[in-house]
């Protein structure tokens, strides 16, 4: 019954998830920064400048770390405020700033315990990185290793992209994983290795491309004036991500943090957050 | 160059055979039929089963002096062919080989999947509309392609689309109805099924005459089967606007253009399919082509299509159903030996008794007995044997006896899951998707449809053919 499988594959391939444009409401934003509430407000002004695309009808609340001596205290504030977006910086209320291999204990916990998207910005005291407040969200990159069907990621990224700006949809296919499977296939006599390499490679590229095409069509239909850039590449999941973020000069990177299968952060999110020190990162 | 008539007469030269020898070979034939019926149980491919019997029959037939061993002349030249070569109907083999290769290459153009997905989208995901569209598509594909290919295309689309729509509970009903409709659609043209090719060719029925005679029954049989299916499997229209909106959204995610790699090749495939049907339909009237036959037409179109993939043509050769072709070749050889052993004469006497019941009762009895026989074993040996036996009786091409065999052999396949290759494909797809369908359960589900179709066919043949 090879032919049944052959035709089922054809029909499954023809079933494409279509992007549906949905508004991502951001009516209230909480800015959490080191120091007093005044210092937090100054930091909040920089955040507001960076996120001017959110418009004027947003309720902002700036809180300094002096107001939340523990993580629980920060959680209580979040419970009370119920923000649609949390903006903070690396090593929030943390003494571990010199350890660049962590985000700081507050942020580590926060990104896992709240469903609210967290915008992670460079530390206010960081001197070796460009000032994010001087930039804007004209170039936003939604980055993932599984783009097809991920409407939430794209809609969130779209919400923060300035009109007439560029939304880069970047799908990175891990070439190490691909090569591992190809190596296994090369040892199976019943499978044509070259054919498998060619067709699997093509299919892995086709699916995100089809999705991006549906995003473009949906935005055209809705009259959204944002240029959608397609980036579908094979490569090392981290190095290639970092390379494209730098190359595209992304003002904001949007990634998934939550993983339904585990309580830890999504496999790509944490290493990316660690290494993307000078680029604002929305962990959705 | 026409074949020397002596080549064709090899198998039918008069000779004496003892009753013991005839009964021995009758036993071998019964064993062959039982083995084919138990194909799944003995875990052997059809070709291997028939090849085993063919080789055994050839050896025994030669040892007993039944087979003619002398040189034949072809175009004025003496040719030394192995004794089993002339007994194969190479025109049938060429039609099956050429048509399956042609269909396989055309399917790469995305034509069939385009049609299938387009119809799915037009249905807007409504189960009743889907049943009608898939049912009609099954009939048309069975007629233009072949039963098995039609079942594979429509059955696999059904599984994917019903899963997409969250209607897996209706999958069994859809697949069963489609399986049953393959054998109804298989009656539409001379090349729609192998029994049609074998019996129609032996009877000398032209493509157009065949179509004109069979199409009214196919139309009524299709409507009857779908209406019964919708009722018995409780397939209903979507009730609310919300359901309709959701179903429309789900089917709209199908992209009918996904399988089309080249727009030019797509249109070429569509044009060639249309031309193929036209040329096959008019083959008996076209100069040169009428001499070369339908087998040549099928091979010609396959040859033209495969030029598109000339560098990887071997992939298509690998995909050819060699089991089916070897089965046919071996079957023709076996039947030829049976004919030499006068087994067919013996069966013919039984057939005479059936036909002797009278024009009405005889024809009806022939149709029903052909259907019953086809339901328990492959309908191709039946068609091949009855074509030979009826051919020896020399009825006119318009005789209802031919149609009784054609209708019976095709529709009998709907009584059991082993009665036809396409219903077997339907059951295999059911099993693939975790649906249990035993032999008994299939008979229980299919019997009302098959009985209605056979009753309708009997009335149709008696009244109109």
Q: Which residue has the higher pLDDT, A133 or A162?
A: A162
Q: Is residue B137 part of a domain?
A: yes
Give kind and range of the element (H or E) at residue A231.
strand A227-235
Interchain pair A4, B432: CB under 8 A: yes
Query: Tens digits of per-residue pLDDT, A66-107?
Result: 988 898 999 999 999 999 999 999 888 877 767 777 788 888
Cα separation, B298 vs B145, whole angstroms: 11
Q: How far is B277 from chain A (nearest CA, A)?
A: 23
Q: Is residue B116 part of a domain?
A: yes
Query: Tens digits of per-residue pLDDT, B202-231?
Result: 898 888 899 999 999 999 999 999 999 999
| Percent of chain B residues past pLDDT 70, beyond the cut | 96
In chain A, the domains with their CATH numbers are 20-130 (3.40.50.2300), 136-279 (3.40.50.620)
Q: Is residue B462 part of a domain?
A: no
Q: B427: nearest CA in chain A? A: A1
Query: Residue B12's pLDDT is what?
Result: 47
Distances (CA, A) of B437 to B161, B197, B430, B431, B441: 21, 31, 7, 7, 6
Q: Is residue B431 part of a domain?
A: no
Residues 6+ away with beta carbon under 8 Å from A193:
A182, A185, A186
Distances (CA, A) of A236 to A77, A194, A250, B22, B62: 39, 22, 19, 75, 70
Contact B387, B353 (CB under 8 A): no
pLDDT(B273) > 80: yes
Contacts of B428 in chain A (CB under 8 A): 1, 4
Interchain pair A8, B116: CB under 8 A: no
Least confident of A78-82, A186-190, B373-377: B373-377
Q: A11: nearest CA in chain B? A: B157
Average pLDDT, chain A: 88
Token reading at B88: 């194969």
pLDDT(A119) > 70: yes
Interchain pair B253, A3: CB under 8 A: no
Q: Is residue B247 part of a domain?
A: yes
pLDDT(B7) > 60: no
Query: Residue B45's pLDDT is what?
Result: 85
Could you list the residue range(s) of the whole structural domain that residue B309 is in?
Answer: 90-319
Q: Is residue B293 part of a domain?
A: yes
Give me the interface pTM, i.e. the ipTM: 0.73
Cα separation, B148 vs A128, whole angstroms: 69
User: What total number of domains does chain B contain?
Assistant: 1
Contacts of A13 in chain B (CB under 8 A): 258-259
**Nearest CA among B25, B141, B33 for reference residue B379:** B33
SS3 A120: strand
Across the beta sheet with A85-89, what order do the strands follow? A59-64, A28-33, A85-89, A118-121, A281-283, A252-255, A139-144, A166-174, A227-235
Query: Tens digits of per-residue pLDDT, B100-139?
Result: 899 889 988 889 889 889 999 999 999 999 999 999 999 9
**Nearest CA among B183, B95, B191 for reference residue B138:** B183
Query: Residue B2's pLDDT is what?
Result: 37
Residue with tokens 């037939």: B61
Cα separation, B117 vs B123, whole angstroms: 10
Interchain pair A18, B253: CB under 8 A: yes
Q: Which residue has the higher pLDDT, B271 or A10?
A: B271
Q: Which residue has the higher pLDDT, B73 or B226?
A: B226
Query: Residue B9's pLDDT is what?
Result: 38
Q: Is residue B262 part of a domain?
A: yes
- Mean of the pLDDT values across residues B179-203? 90
Query: Residue A80's pLDDT is what?
Result: 92
In this structure, the number of other CB atoms found within 10 A of the CB of residue A57 comes to 7
Q: Which residue has the higher pLDDT, B452 or B83?
A: B452
Candidates A2, A5, A10: best to mutate against B (most CBs of B within 10 A) is A10
Confidence of residue B318 (pLDDT cuts 50, 70, 90): confident
Confidence of residue A266 (pLDDT cuts 50, 70, 90): low
Q: How far is B164 from chain A (nearest CA, A)?
A: 9
Least confident of A127-141, B1-15, B142-156, B298-312: B1-15
Query: Residue B224's pLDDT is what?
Result: 96
Q: Is residue B302 part of a domain?
A: yes
Query: Residue B140's pLDDT is what?
Result: 92
- Mean of the pLDDT values across residues A20-43? 92
- Mean of the pLDDT values across residues B346-370? 86
Least confident of A10-24, A41-55, B311-325: B311-325
Cα separation, B292 vs B2, whole angstroms: 9
Confidence of residue A259 (pLDDT cuts 50, 70, 90): low
């Amino acid at each position: 019954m090879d032919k049944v499988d052959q035709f089922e594959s054809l029909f499954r391939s023809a079933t494409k998830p279509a992007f549906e444009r949905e508004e991502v409401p951001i009516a209230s934003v909480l800015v959490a920064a080191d120091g007093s509430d005044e210092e937090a407000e100054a930091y909040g002004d920089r955040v507001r400048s960076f996120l001017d695309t959110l418009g004027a009808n947003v309720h902002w609340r700036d809180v300094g770390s002096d107001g939340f001596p523990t993580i629980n205290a920060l959680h209580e504030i979040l419970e009370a405020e119920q923000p649609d977006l949390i903006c903070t910086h690396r090593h929030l209320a943390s003494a571990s700033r010199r350890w660049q291999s962590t985000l700081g204990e507050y942020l580590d916990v926060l990104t896992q315990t709240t469903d609210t998207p967290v915008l992670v910005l460079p530390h206010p005291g960081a001197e070796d990185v460009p000032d994010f407040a001087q930039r804007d969200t004209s170039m936003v990159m939604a980055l993932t290793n599984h783009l097809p069907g991920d409407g939430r990621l794209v809609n969130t990224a779209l919400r923060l992209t300035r009109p007439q700006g560029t939304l880069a949809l970047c799908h990175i296919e891990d070439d190490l994983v691909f090569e591992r499977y190809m190596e296994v296939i090369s040892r199976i006599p019943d499978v044509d290795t070259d054919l498998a390499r060619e067709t699997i490679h093509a299919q892995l590229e086709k699916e995100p491309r089809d999705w991006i095409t549906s995003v473009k069509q949906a935005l055209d239909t809705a009259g959204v004036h944002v240029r959608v850039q397609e980036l579908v590449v094979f490569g090392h999941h981290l190095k290639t991500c970092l390379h494209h973020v730098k190359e595209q000069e992304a003002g904001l990177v949007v990634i998934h943090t939550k993983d339904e299968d585990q309580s830890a952060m999504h496999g790509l999110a944490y290493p990316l957050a660690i290494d993307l020190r000078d680029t604002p990162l929305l962990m959705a | 160059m026409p074949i020397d008539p002596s080549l064709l007469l090899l198998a039918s030269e008069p000779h004496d055979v003892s009753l013991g020898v005839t009964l021995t070979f009758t036993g071998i034939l019964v064993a062959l039929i039982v083995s084919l019926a138990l194909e799944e149980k003995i875990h052997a491919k059809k070709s291997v089963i028939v090849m085993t019997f063919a080789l055994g029959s050839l050896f025994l037939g030669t040892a007993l002096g039944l087979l003619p061993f002398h040189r034949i002349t072809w175009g004025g030249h003496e040719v030394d062919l192995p004794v089993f070569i002339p007994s194969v109907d190479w025109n049938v083999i060429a039609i099956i080989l050429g048509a399956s290769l042609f269909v396989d290459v055309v399917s790469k153009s995305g034509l069939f999947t385009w049609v299938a997905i387009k119809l799915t989208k037009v249905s807007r995901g409504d189960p009743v509309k889907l049943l009608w569209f898939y049912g009609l598509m099954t009939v048309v594909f069975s007629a233009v392609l072949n039963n098995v290919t039609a079942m594979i295309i429509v059955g696999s689309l059904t599984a994917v689309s019903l899963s997409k729509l969250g209607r897996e509970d209706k999958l069994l009903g859809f697949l069963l109805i489609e399986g049953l409709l393959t054998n109804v659609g298989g009656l539409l043209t001379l090349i729609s099924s192998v029994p049609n090719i074998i019996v129609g060719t032996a009877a000398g029925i032209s493509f157009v005459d065949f179509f004109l005679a069979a199409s009214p029954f196919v139309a009524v049989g299709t409507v009857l089967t779908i209406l019964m299916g919708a009722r018995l499997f409780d397939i209903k229209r979507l009730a609310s606007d919300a359901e309709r909106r959701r179903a429309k959204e789900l089917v709209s995610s199908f992209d009918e253009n996904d399988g089309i790699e080249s727009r030019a090749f797509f249109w070429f495939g569509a044009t060639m399919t249309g031309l193929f049907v036209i040329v096959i339909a008019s083959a008996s009237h076209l100069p040169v082509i009428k001499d070369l036959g339908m087998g040549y037409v099928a091979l010609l179109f396959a040859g033209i299509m495969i030029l598109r993939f000339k560098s990887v043509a071997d992939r298509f050769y690998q995909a050819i159903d060699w089991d089916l072709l070897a089965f046919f070749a071996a079957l023709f050889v076996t039947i030829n030996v049976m004919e030499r052993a006068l087994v067919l004469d013996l069966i013919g006497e039984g057939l005479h008794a059936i036909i002797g019941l009278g024009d009405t009762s005889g024809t009806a009895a022939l149709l029903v007995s052909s259907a019953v026989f086809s339901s328990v074993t492959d309908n191709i040996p039946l068609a091949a044997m009855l074509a030979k036996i009826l051919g020896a009786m020399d009825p006119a091409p318009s005789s209802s006896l031919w149609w009784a065999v054609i209708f019976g052999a095709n529709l009998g396949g709907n009584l059991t899951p082993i009665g036809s290759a396409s219903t077997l494909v339907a059951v295999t797809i059911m099993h693939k998707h975790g649906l249990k369908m035993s032999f008994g359960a299939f008979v229980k589900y299919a019997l009302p449809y098959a009985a209605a179709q056979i009753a309708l066919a009997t009335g149709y043949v008696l009244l109109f053919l």
